[in-house]
């Protein structure tokens, strides 16, 4: 079965799962209405139920009752029934007393009361499901407030089990619900830990985390057998939803490195099924141990973003150049993807077939292609813009001496001396030369043009000055950041083309948003004539019209 078919089936399974949770028209009403006697007789050992006792529903209690009814379907999926208990007027017992009417809901397991909830804590379906599951999973989901508490749990799990650590800014939110639903499903496999303490999130080692957003870390404690050895942590980069958590845990449960001995075109892994790329590292018997260590190192760097497979040359008959040793396979397309650089490698893209690209050539094995090879690859080169640029300009020396070299001592002072500074962060000079935007024919013209606009072009070699790159939060190479007066910085995420990069630099000089004071300015802006310095650069325009009474 192909990777695309596997991915389609996986997606269909998710859709069927969520479709099964959608109530259909005409289905039976899930919120039961019982008398107190009927309710307590219906309780079964081990089965959970959420009950709301009321003499009658006042207008103020109607919204709460609607939310309770809406949550019945979601809670039923976890074996929890939802009941509205109609109390007789003369009943003044514990649950039907006037002081409790319309103010509390009760969670039972069998006939044992687990938790009382104030109705204002159950304000919507997410808060109801999150709080109910949190109460039922109290022993499975540990709540922590300090770093010491978290470390004690980690130490107890080392060598035994992995941990899922989640931070939510507040309980009762959609993210809290997603974590609780995941704990209900995976709680027997992983230890779940929850916190709402922003200070604890910062203490875990994340650099300036966004405490306004929920975050999830997978802690690999099962591999840490030494108490002094910290658990590796892999952050989930997506929003905290049940599907994303399921996807992340599925990736964390996959083998770190998959060893394959078949045609790469036939290989299908969980990464490909979930739409992620798979990196193949070629190996042979003589270098197996070193190749395995390299594969594991790469796998840890891309964990959660891509898979890694070790492909043996000895067991697969592949028509691959001996100097090629790394390949990338994606579910739908071919893409040259370079995120890791080693001292013994420099990145290069070579078209191989319809779904593979081989990259990272050994420096010492570099040699000239023979004439037959050039003829065979000529059409492939013409079909790929990036490959064509690399092939055309690989023998040319680009005027990189005109770009100011920054060091740890000169970086911050250079940013303060110029109104706008463009910094190229790279991990080797060879990597910088591979950028298509640095084409020889137009680069000197762009240098002169940008220089007249008060823009300083500079570069930092992160191999020589890793401290600067770490401080500037540069995690992949090459990266371009634009600094304004040494303060605000913007990362360039566009195409690596001369025109695209120049346009972005010029657009970044204009205030955003740009305030227009007259109708003539607004019309000129829409025609692309205002401001005048941008009239020659193609860009999308968005105009917002506000009244003078609108707040800032």
Can the peptide bond before residue 513 be classed as cis, meaning omega within 30 degrees of 0? yes
Taking only the tens place, the pLDDT of each residue in 405-435 is: 899 999 988 888 888 888 988 875 444 444 4
Mind listing the domains of the chain with CATH numbers?
Answer: 32-124 (3.40.30.10), 139-202+210-252 (3.40.30.10), 256-338 (3.40.30.10), 405-508 (3.40.30.10)
- Residue 19's pLDDT is 45
What number of residues does the chain have? 552
Main-chain dihedrals φ then ψ at residue 456, nearest 5 degrees: -100, 125
> Between these two residues, 326 and 530, which has the higher pLDDT value?
326
Radius of gyration of the chain (CA): 30
Residue 535: CB atoms within 10 Å: 11
Strand runs labelled E in 339-413 = 345-346, 350-353, 356-359, 361-362, 404-405
| pLDDT above 50 (res 378) | yes
Split at pLDDT 50, 70, 90, the class of 7 is very low
Average pLDDT over residues 308-330: 74
Ranges of H-type helices in 105-190: 125-136, 147-157, 174-186
- Residue 474's pLDDT is 83
| Residue 135 · residue 87 · CB < 8 Å | no
- Residue 548's pLDDT is 76
| Residue 171 · residue 130 · CB < 8 Å | yes
- Residue 88's pLDDT is 84
- Residue 335's pLDDT is 41
Split at pLDDT 50, 70, 90, the class of 312 is confident
* DSSP designation for 230: P
| Residue 192 · residue 141 · CB < 8 Å | yes
Distances in whole angstroms, Cα of residue 337 to Cα of each of 79, 180, 322, 325, 382: 46, 36, 20, 14, 19
159-163, 274-278, 343-347: least confident range: 343-347
Token pair for 157: 């799990």
* DSSP designation for 26: T
515: Cβ–Cβ under 8 A, 6 or more apart, which residues?
A: none
Split at pLDDT 50, 70, 90, the class of 100 is low
Taking only the tens place, the pLDDT of each residue in 380-398 is: 444 444 445 445 554 444 4
118: Cβ–Cβ under 8 A, 6 or more apart, which residues?
A: 103, 104
* DSSP designation for 323: T
Taking only the tens place, the pLDDT of each residue in 480-514 is: 898 987 667 888 887 766 677 777 887 777 777 77
61-65, 349-353, 448-452, 485-489: least confident range: 349-353
| Rounded Cα distance, 300 and 505, in Å | 34
Average pLDDT over residues 153-171: 93
149: nearest Cα among 181, 187, 186, 197: 197
486: Cβ–Cβ under 8 A, 6 or more apart, which residues?
A: 412, 415, 416, 421
Taking only the tens place, the pLDDT of each residue in 113-138 is: 999 998 888 889 999 999 999 999 98
Token pair for 411: 């970086």
What is the value of pTM for the model shown? Answer: 0.57
What average pLDDT does the chain have? Answer: 75
| Rounded Cα distance, 76 and 49, in Å | 9
Token pair for 249: 């845990």
Main-chain dihedrals φ then ψ at residue 271, nearest 5 degrees: -65, -45
| Rounded Cα distance, 398 and 376, in Å | 28
368: Cβ–Cβ under 8 A, 6 or more apart, which residues?
A: none
Strand partners, 54: 86
| pLDDT above 80 (res 305) | yes
Ranges of H-type helices in 302-370: none
396: Cβ–Cβ under 8 A, 6 or more apart, which residues?
A: 440
| pLDDT above 60 (res 179) | yes
Taking only the tens place, the pLDDT of each residue in 192-230 is: 999 999 888 888 876 677 888 899 999 999 988 888 888
Per cent of the chain over pLDDT 70 is 70
233: nearest Cα among 170, 310, 166: 166
- Residue 361's pLDDT is 38
Give percent helix, percent strand, percent coil of the chain, each to the nearest 5.
40, 20, 45
| pLDDT above 80 (res 372) | no
């Amino acid at each position: 079965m192909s990777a695309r078919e596997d991915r389609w089936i996986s997606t269909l399974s998710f859709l069927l799962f969520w479709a099964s949770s959608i109530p259909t028209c005409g289905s039976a009403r899930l919120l039961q209405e019982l008398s107190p006697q009927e309710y307590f007789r219906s309780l079964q050992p081990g089965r959970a139920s959420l009950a709301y006792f009321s003499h009658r529903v006042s207008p103020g209690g109607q919204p709460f009752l609607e939310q309770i009814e809406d949550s019945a379907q979601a809670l039923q999926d976890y074996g929890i029934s939802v009941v509205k208990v109609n109390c007789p007027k003369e009943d003044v017992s514990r649950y039907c007393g006037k002081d409790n009417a319309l103010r509390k809901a009760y969670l039972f397991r069998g006939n044992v009361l687990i938790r009382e909830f104030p109705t204002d804590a159950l304000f919507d379906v997410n808060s109801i499901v999150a709080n109910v599951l949190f109460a039922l999973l109290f022993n499975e989901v540990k709540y922590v407030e300090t770093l010491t508490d978290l470390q004690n749990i980690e130490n107890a799990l080392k060598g035994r089990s992995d941990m899922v650590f989640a931070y939510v800014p507040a309980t009762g939110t959609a993210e809290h619900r997603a974590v609780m639903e995941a704990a209900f499903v995976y709680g027997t496999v992983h230890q779940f830990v929850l916190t709402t303490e922003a200070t604890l999130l910062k203490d875990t080692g994340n650099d300036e985390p966004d405490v306004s957003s929920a975050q999830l870390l997978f802690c690999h404690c099962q591999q840490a057998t030494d108490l002094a050895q910290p658990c590796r942590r892999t952050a989930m980069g997506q929003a905290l939803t049940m599907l994303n958590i399921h996807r992340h845990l599925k990736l964390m449960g996959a083998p770190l490195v998959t060893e394959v001995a078949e045609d790469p075109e036939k290989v299908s892994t969980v990464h490909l099924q979930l739409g992620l790329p798979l990196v193949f590292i070629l190996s042979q018997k003589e270098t197996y141990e070193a190749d395995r260590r390299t594969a594991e190192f790469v796998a840890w760097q891309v964990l959660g973003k891509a898979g890694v497979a070790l492909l043996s040359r000895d067991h697969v008959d592949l028509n691959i150049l001996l100097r090629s040793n790394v390949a990338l396979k994606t579910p739908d397309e071919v893409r040259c993807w370079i995120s890791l650089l080693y001292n013994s490698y420099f990145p290069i893209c070579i078209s191989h077939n319809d779904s593979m690209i081989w990259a990272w050539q050994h420096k010492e094995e570099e040699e000239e292609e023979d004439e037959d090879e050039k003829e065979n690859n000529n059409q492939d080169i013409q079909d790929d813009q990036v490959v064509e640029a690399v092939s055309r300009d690989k023998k040319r020396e680009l005027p990189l001496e005109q770009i100011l070299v920054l060091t740890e001592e000169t970086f911050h002072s250079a940013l303060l001396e110029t109104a706008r500074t463009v910094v190229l962060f790279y991990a080797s000079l060879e990597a910088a030369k591979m950028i298509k935007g640095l084409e020889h024919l137009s680069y000197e013209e762009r240098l002169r043009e940008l220089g007249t606009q008060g823009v300083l072009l500079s570069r930092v070699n992160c191999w020589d000055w890793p401290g600067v790159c770490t401080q500037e939060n540069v995690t992949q190479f090459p990266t371009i950041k634009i600094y304004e007066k040494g303060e605000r910085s913007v990362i360039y995420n566009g195409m690596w083309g001369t025109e695209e990069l120049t346009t972005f630099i010029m657009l970044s000089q204009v205030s955003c948003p740009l305030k227009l004071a007259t109708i003539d300015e607004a019309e000129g802006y829409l025609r692309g004539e205002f401001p005048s310095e941008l009239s020659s650069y193609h860009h999308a325009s968005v105009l917002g019209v506000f009244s003078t009474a609108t707040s800032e």
